[in-house]
Every structure is written in structure tokens, then in C-alpha cells.
Amino acid sequence: MSYQTLLYIILAGIAALLLALFQYKYKTKSASNKTALFVVLRAITFFSVFLLVINPEFEQLIITTEKPNLVVAVDNSSSIKHLSQEGNVNQFLKDLKANTAINNRFSVDLFSFGSTTQSLDSLHFNENQTNISSAFSSLHQIYKNTVSPTILVTDGNQTYGSDYEFSAKKYNQEIYPIVLGDTTLYSDLKLKQLNVNRYAFLKNKFPVEVIAVYSGDNTISTTFQVTQGNAVVYSKRVSFSKAKSSEVITFNLSANTVGVQAYKATLIPMDNEKNTVNNSRNFGVEVIDQKTNVAIASTLMHPDLGALKKSIETNEQRSVTLFKPNELLGKLNDFQLVIIYQPDNSFSQLFAEMKDLKKNKFIIAGAKTDWNFLNAQSENYEQEITSQTEDYQAHLNTSYSSFIVEDLDFESLPPLASSFGAPEFSIPIETLLYKTVGNFKTKEPLLVTFEVDSNREAILFGENIWRWRAQNYLNTEGFNAFDNFMGKLVQYLSSNKRKNRLEIDYNSFYQGNTNVIIKAQYFNKNYEFDKSENITLIVRDENNTVVKTLPFLLKNNTFEADLSDLLAGKYSFTAQSKSENLSKSGQFEILEYSVEEQFYSANASKLRYIAGNSNGESYYLDNYTKLFNNLLENTQFKPIQKSNKSTVPLIDWKYLLALIALSLSIEWFLRKYKGLI
């Protein structure tokens, strides 16, 4: 506070007292000593008001003590139960919470991780996957600008995600792993990887590749075999030694029966082998008797063509062939769908032949599309012709009803380039994606589908869809979401089946370590998606015994039922709507496989490596008290005292307003009591 402000406050006090004396002594002739209290109260009021006008500022010093964080991340996967360590983990957490010195020194934050990382509420050790890399990435986002030593309670065996050795280097915190499980290395045979296509074609052979691994010092021989039911369909004698610790086994199996065919690959265990669970692996192949052939016709060389081909062919049921427009003439009957990419006058004969054969088509328009030609080819739509181009982003129509669509976070995808102008349609259409210009969401279609005389057609008003596939990889670290979206669009366009009011989306078989999700959509009589419908799922096992009855839950624009808790086996299901008794049935198989049971020993060497690389140290469960002591003795993890000096104006002091109100109230009450009012 300056001297000038202090002078103003003194003058305000004198002025407040003089004004109060003037009102109660000078102007009131019958004033007595009893009015002295009124003078004081009025002087307080005047002085407080003058202070608000002067509004002096005061310096405020706030001293706080900030404790370092102690992050504790606990492995909640089923491998911990498989190694019989769940009791030890719970005891460790109990001792940690009871350690007063640790809790006084640190701000302890508890997390659990499996396939994802979350705040620790309770531990069940039932996660089907372990992603230690994701745990480090998630914690890095929370604690990247803090001092946060991290205790990692795990067996060190990761089953999913990128190598956590590299994620730990980016974490920039000292890591103190507590190693769970047996660290003794036993001789072990293991099927490390099995590669097989999801689909095969009837009366063909399909390839299978298996990587068998041996850890041990002796030379051994064993038999690798593949069985289907009780029948052995393939067998081979294999040998391993310390020098030859792995072998790649490649062979072909015959696809003789349509449907899901389940197999079991096995390495016959050694005598006294500790872990035999990882000697076997179940796999399945869906045998189909036909393939969907898709033709892409284009006169341009564009990255969209390669992206479309790769995306569509991720499903082995589909094959894509690229043609010039005239090369496709006379071959249309070999294809169920034709994709027309940015057509011009050179497509005239192809359009005429497609019209005669009533072929389904998917037109992709862009900046180089000849709309004069395209408008002349169709009686169903017309695009406004301009010489300008525009970039359009997409947003999803959640009421789209032709097939089940999942949101790819379309609004985060790059814009597509197209001719400026709005199309007009003379027939009913379904808009799958709308255009977004800048931040404005329009109702102009970006991707539409429609049906005319049992023929299906789609139009995408934009090029550079390859950027969507690339961005989807950046968003999700994979192409699956985009490829599934494109696959469903192709599946819809390549078929002329009548649309059902109850649609079910599921896989014919699921690996035992994946989520078993069945999706549904229900449409009213106008084929509008009805979110209010109640749909029930009834699941039966091979003996036709009902094992589960549950409702579908609404999620975005689809209904979902989670059956991930079902055991391996064959199941049939029926989905029923309540209001109109519509139903849809299907079958699926869950293949037995627990990736968490593939390990018998802890990966102590990698945990020691990430500890040393971060200036930390690894420990075992029998000496974690030593870890507590070392953390308390480490001078890097002392509480930090912080001071915050701020300037506070008096007008922010609410008690001054309360004082003015109180003094006026008391003065009024006393004057009323004495009959002066």
C-alpha cells in the first residue's frame, strides 16, 4: 500500500467522523450522550463507503506445501490369477494404504490396467489382455509435468499393444517395478503365433502358418499336429535345441464343408513340462462357396484407387480388379458391383451396358468429374454445374437405416474435394453422410444410397478418401474401423436382398480373447430407426439350453449386446423385438484361447531394464518394504513449499459490505426502538 493511499484512508476516517458528528450533534439540538452510539455507527458506515471508493490494495502471501505424487499401477489381468499372485497383490495394497509415512510424504494415486488403464476401484484379475504400453502412455498424459515416481505391480508379460520398453522411455518418471510370479526359467514349448485367413473357399486349400518356439538347453523332439474334432488333419515331427529354438511350420488344409470349421493346433508337451496351456491354440476358418467380385473403372491414376482396393480386400470374401472403362465392356456379368471413379465422356458405353444389365454401382465424384456427362446419364439426380471446387468434411446421419453404421469420428477426418454446388434428387434417398463446411453442418448430402427397381446405387460427392483411411490409422492405430465401414457399404451395394426391419450384425466366430459383441438395428414401418424399441437377445448352447437372456442396450445409432462372459463353445441366438414380434436368428462359435495363460514365468529381465533405464530399481513382492524405505530416503521426492504472492483489492473483501449492512441495520433498529423514526 502506498503512502498516498494511506493518507486517503486517514482523511476518509476524519471525514466520516465529522459527517457523523454533523448529523447527530450539530443538526440535532436535543443531542445527548446517548447519541454517541449513533455517531459511531454512522461514522463506521461512512468510513466503509469511503474505503470502497478509495479501494486500497493489499499484498497477500499464501504458502502451500506440495507433495510429490506416488503413482501405483497394478496389473488387473487374469495372468496374475493364473500365477496365483492375487493374494500377494491385495496384501501389498493394504500395506501401502496403512503406511503412514508414505501417505504423509506422497500423494498416492492408484490405477489398474489390463487392456485399458483406469483409476483403481477394486481388483478382479479378470482382464483378458495386458497392455503395459497403454498404461505408460495414459499416465504420461496425466503426470508429464510433475515429479511422480511410479510403482508398477505386474508380471511384465504384455499380450497386446506396442512394446512397453519404448513407452517407458517416453514416460520420463522413475519406475519401480514390483515383479509378480516365478522368475525361474523352465524348459517350455510354445505356439507363439498362428496365422490363418479368416475365410476360405469351398473345395480349395487354405494356408496355415505356425511359429513354434522352444526355451531350454536340451535337444528335444516332439510332434506338431492339427485336429478337427477327433480327426488328425495334419501332423509333423519337429526338433528343437538351444541353437535351434524356433521353427516356422507352413501347410495347407482342405476346405470341404461350408460354414465355420474349428481346428486345434498342438505341440505335444515334453515330460514334466510346467506350462502346457501355451502348447495348444484353437483357430477357425469360415468356408464360403462364393466370392464377391468388385470392379473399379477409372481413367485417372489416383491414390483413392489403391486405398479402395486395399480396404475392400481386407475381407477375403471380396476381390477388386481395376479397369479402364472400355476394358470392362463385356465383363460386367463377372462382377456384383462396379465402382465408377470420376466419370467423363469415355464412360458412355460402360454406362449404357450397365443400364442394360441393371448393375449396382458406386459413383465417386470429385474435382475432375464431368457433371454434364453424369447428369445426362441419370434420371434420378442432377448436380448443379459450376467451375468452382470446395472442400467438405463429413458428419454422420445417425438415422441412416440401410445398414448398421459405426461413427468413425467422421468430423475429425480430412475434407474431401468436390465440385461446388448442391445435388437434387427426384427419388427418395438415404443420406449416410452430410457435408460440413468449416464449422457449419449442412443438410447437403456427401454420401447417399438409394434403390431403384431393386437396383442399388451410392454416390460419394468427394475425392481423396485415401486420406480418411490414413487419418483413421492415426486416430486408432489401425485401419479396421474404416475398412469395416467400407466393407459394409460394399456388402450393401453388391446385394439386392430386400431390406429387413430388424438387422443383426455379428461374426460367425470369435477368438476367446476378443469381445463378443452382437449389434442390432430396428426400423419402424417407414424404415426409420426407432430408438425406443425393446429388443431381447436369447442365447442357447449346443444342447439348446438357454444360457443367457439379456436386452440390447442403445449405443449411438445401434443396439448392442455384450456376450464376452460366455465360455468357449458353439451358440445360437434369437433377437426379438417387443412391439411387433419381429425376430432374427443366427449362430456363432467362440474359440477357446486365453492369451493370459500363455506365460508361466514373470518377465523380470525387461522390468529390470525399464527400471534401470529410468533411474529406478526393481523389487520382488517379498521385499517391497525396502522399496518404501528407499522412497522415503530419496531426497528427490521431498515436499516442495510454494509461495503465492498476490495483490487483493479491498473491493473483493465481502466482509466490508457485511459491515456496512450491519452498521446501518443496528442504527435503524436503535432509532426505531427509541422512537426517533
Dig out the grid coordinates for 219 from the structure: 535337444
- Which burial class, exposed, middle or buried, applies to 443 when counting CB atoms under 10 A from its CB (0-12, 13-18, 19+)? exposed
Q: For residue 453, name the pLDDT band (cuts at 50, 70, 90).
A: confident
Nearest to 445 by CA among 405, 400, 487, 408: 400
Give the sign of the dihedral formed by CA 588, CA 320, CA 490, CA 329. negative
pLDDT, residue 533, reads 87
Amino acid, res. 553:
L
Compute the chain's Rg from CA coordinates. Answer: 37
Q: CB within 8 A of 289, min separation 6: which ones?
A: 201, 202, 258
pLDDT, residue 208, reads 93
Q: CB within 8 A of 311, min separation 6: which ones?
A: 469, 479, 482, 483, 486, 487
Higher pLDDT, 22 or 462: 462
Average pLDDT over residues 89-116: 92
Which of helix, strand or coil describes residue 416?
A: strand
Q: What are phi and psi of 629, to 5 degrees?
A: -65, -40
The 8-class DSSP code of residue 562 comes to E
Q: What percentage of the chain reaches a pLDDT higher than 70?
A: 95
Sheet strands (E) in 91-145: 107-113, 117-119
Q: For residue 423, name the pLDDT band (cuts at 50, 70, 90).
A: confident
pLDDT, residue 527, reads 63
pLDDT, residue 656, reads 79
Q: CB within 8 A of 455, min separation 6: which ones?
A: 358, 359, 360, 496
Which of helix, strand or coil describes residue 636?
A: helix
Average pLDDT over residues 507-529: 79
The 8-class DSSP code of residue 358 comes to T
Average pLDDT over residues 180-201: 82
Nearest to 211 by CA among 158, 110, 111, 281: 281
What are the chain's domains?
A: 3-61+648-673 (no CATH), 68-181+602-638 (3.40.50.410), 188-288 (2.60.40.10), 292-493 (3.40.50.880), 502-594 (2.60.40.1930)
Q: How many other CB atoms sit within 10 Å of the CB of residue 318?
A: 21
Residues 650 and 670: their CA atoms lie apart, in Å, by 29
Lowest model confidence (mean pLDDT) among 395-409, 420-434, 663-677 = 663-677
Q: How many other CB atoms sit within 10 Å of the CB of residue 458?
A: 23
Provide DSSP, 302-324: -HHHHHHHHHHTTSTTEEEEEE-
Q: What is the pLDDT of residues 134-157, one digit of tens each?
A: 999 999 999 988 889 999 999 998
Q: CB within 8 A of 491, min separation 6: which ones?
A: 292, 403
CB half-sphere exposure, 266, CA atoms < 13 A: 15
Contacts by 611-618, CB closer than 8 A, 24 or more apart: 611/175, 611/176, 611/177, 613/168, 613/169, 614/168, 614/169, 614/171, 614/173, 614/174, 614/175, 615/174, 616/149, 616/150, 616/174, 616/175, 616/176, 616/177, 617/176, 618/176, 618/177, 618/178, 618/179
pLDDT averaged over every residue in the chain: 86
Higher pLDDT, 395 or 596: 395
pLDDT, residue 79, reads 85
Sheet strands (E) in 597-639: 619-620
Q: What is the dihedral of CA 337, 338, 341, 346, to 10 degrees?
A: -170
Q: Any bridge partners for residue 94, and if so which?
A: none
Dig out the grid coordinates for 5 from the structure: 493511499
- Which burial class, exposed, middle or buried, applies to 677 when counting CB atoms under 10 A from its CB (0-12, 13-18, 19+)? exposed
Residue 392 backbone class (left: φ over 0; alpha: ψ -120 to 50; beta: rest): beta
Average pLDDT over residues 616-634: 90
Lowest model confidence (mean pLDDT) among 135-149, 379-393, 499-513 = 499-513
- 88 pLDDT higher than 60: yes
Amino acid, res. 131:
N
Q: What is the pLDDT of residues 584-617, one digit of tens each?
A: 998 888 887 766 666 777 888 899 999 999 999 9
Q: Any bridge partners for residue 100, and if so which?
A: none
| Cβ 62 vs Cβ 646: under 8 Å | yes
pLDDT, residue 26, reads 66
Dig out the grid coordinates for 412 from the structure: 475429425
